[in-house]
Amino acid sequence: MKRELGIARCGLACCLCSENEVCHGCGSSECPDNDTCVNRQCSIERNYTHCYQCPEACRKGLLNSVKPYAFTLFIKRYGEEKLLDCLEEMEKRGVVYHREGIRGDYDQFQDPEALIRFLLTGK
C-alpha cells in the first residue's frame, strides 16, 4: 500500500491501485484521466479537493459505481485516515483491491452500506 497516494477525488483508492507505478494519484498531474474525469472537473469547479467534501448526494462519474461511492460515504462518516487504516488492515488480511485488470474483492459488493460494514468489521 502506498498510503501517501491516499484517496482519489472520487473515492477510489490511489494508494492501492495496481497502476500506481505510472500514475501518482489523482492529485498529481500524471493521472492519465486528468482531462476527462467528471469528478475531477466538478470538484475543481466547486473548490473541493475530494468529492466527499461536497454536501450533495452525487452519483455522477465514478460515483455511479459502488466502490468509490461507498468509500466516499465512509470518509464522510469516519474520515479519510480511518478509511486508509481499514484498507491497510484489509490488505494485510488478503483482501485484494485489484486482481486481474481493475476488478478486485471490493467490486463484488452491490450495496454501498454492505461494503462500509465490511470495511469496518471485516465480515
| pLDDT digits 0-9 by tens, 97-111 | 987 767 889 999 999
- Tell me the mean pLDDT in the region 43-49: 93
Beta-carbon contacts of residue 31 (< 8 Å; ≥ 6 apart): 23, 24, 25, 37, 40
Taking residue 103's Cβ as centre, other Cβ atoms within 10 Å add up to: 13
State what percent of residues in the chain have pLDDT above 90. 60
Residues 73, 93: Cα–Cα separation, whole Å: 23
The pLDDT score that the predictor gives to residue 27 is: 67
The yes-or-no verdict on residue 87 having pLDDT over 90 is yes
C-alpha cell, 36: 476527462
C-alpha cell, 102: 481493475
The yes-or-no verdict on residue 86 having pLDDT over 90 is yes
The yes-or-no verdict on residue 33 having pLDDT over 90 is no
